[in-house]
Amino acid sequence: MDDFEAAFWPDESPVDNAVVMTMGALHEGHAALIRAARKQVGREGRVAVTVFVNPLQFGPSEDLDRYPRTLDADVRLAEENGADVVFAPSVEEVYPNGEPQVRLTAGPMGDRFEGATRPGHFDGVLTVVAKLLHITDPDFAFFGEKDAQQLAVIQRMVADLDFDVEVVGVPTVREEDGLALSSRNRYLSEEERSHALALSRALFAGRDVAAQGPKAVREAAAAVLDGAEGVTLDYLALIDPHDFSEAADDFQGEAVLAVAAKVGSTRLIDNVRIIVR
């Protein structure tokens, strides 16, 4: 990994460096992150894309072995969208002594919503993100807003532990019909994909009544999901983005309306950022 640092950041020149961290199976959402990173650092800056399927963030019954691995296509997409280098280490390179004994914890923010469904998930995310930030040493790190809780805990880690990097969130990229892009969408059958549209429709329904307050937002979103065919709801929540707690009934300001559900055997997440009045 030291060789990577020397190769990618070869001198002390004043150009900016950026990293886009991924688990591969790249799609247009990742392409948007790479383009945003390139725009941020300019033509002379450097953009790295990391591709690493991190075992620490998968639970024992989750899809680690099934998770798609498409490195050749990932490299092409990264290059076409402005990356200078793709760093795709093996598990043995990232964790040379086996599973790390010392890990970061996401604290209370990591125990809610996604963390409640997937215990330890965000501890695994933060541990590998911290390692990759040390390895790539960027000025900017780009993450998608689709993984809203992940973005929030990474931003909190950077602030709490004084990482010298600016974390930049990039808006969710959607298909024309509203479905949020996800590497897991490839698991959906045509019928399941149609059912999955209920998630974004629910979020948009809540967003449309944001001026009427938290209760109206929750009710409008829930009305779309109630009885939605093929959808098994995990949670629908209006969230205070500062600590990722459930927003109170009198909450006002920026909030995250988030949903998680299984469609068939595939678990999907989505969210929209709204201003509640």
Is 134 labeled as catalytic in the residue annotation? no
pLDDT of amino acid 1: 42
| Same structural domain, 66 and 112 | yes
| Same structural domain, 77 and 204 | no
| Same structural domain, 27 and 109 | yes
161's CB contacts (< 8 A; 6+ apart) are 130
Which CATH number does the domain housing residue 272 bear?
Answer: 3.30.1300.10
Closest CA to 274 of 253, 249, 259: 253
pLDDT of amino acid 14: 76
Residues in the chain with pLDDT < 70?
Answer: 1-13
For residue 42, with 0-12 CB atoms within 10 Å meaning exposed, 13-18 middle and 19 or more buried, which class applies? exposed
Contact (CB, 8 A) for 275 and 262: no
- Within 10 angstroms of residue 52's Cβ, the number of other Cβ atoms is 19
| Same structural domain, 197 and 254 | yes
- The catalytic residue among 30, 121, 134, 195 is 30
Q: What are φ and ψ of residue 272, in 5° steps?
A: -135, 150
Which CATH number does the domain housing residue 108 bear?
Answer: 3.40.50.620
| Same structural domain, 33 and 144 | yes
Is 180 part of any domain? no
Please give the residue range of the domain that contains residue 196.
185-276
pLDDT of amino acid 40: 98
Q: What sign for the dihedral angle of Cα 182, 183, 187, 191?
A: positive
- Going from the C-alpha of 128 to that of each of 20, 71, 154, the distances in angstroms are 13, 19, 11
Q: What are φ and ψ of residue 247, in 5° steps?
A: -70, 140
Closest CA to 232 of 184, 183, 268, 208: 268
Chain centroid, CA 221 distance in Å: 22
Q: Which residues are annotated as a binding site?
A: 23-30, 57, 144-147, 150, 173, 181-184
| Same structural domain, 127 and 37 | yes
| Same structural domain, 27 and 163 | yes
pLDDT of amino acid 7: 55
| Same structural domain, 55 and 165 | yes
* Range list of β-strands (E), the chain: 17-22, 46-51, 85-87, 140-144, 166-170, 231-240, 245-246, 253-263, 266-276
Contact (CB, 8 A) for 68 and 24: yes
pTM of the model: 0.93
| Same structural domain, 164 and 190 | no
Q: Which residues are annotated as a binding site for beta-alanine?
A: 57
Number of domains in the chain: 2
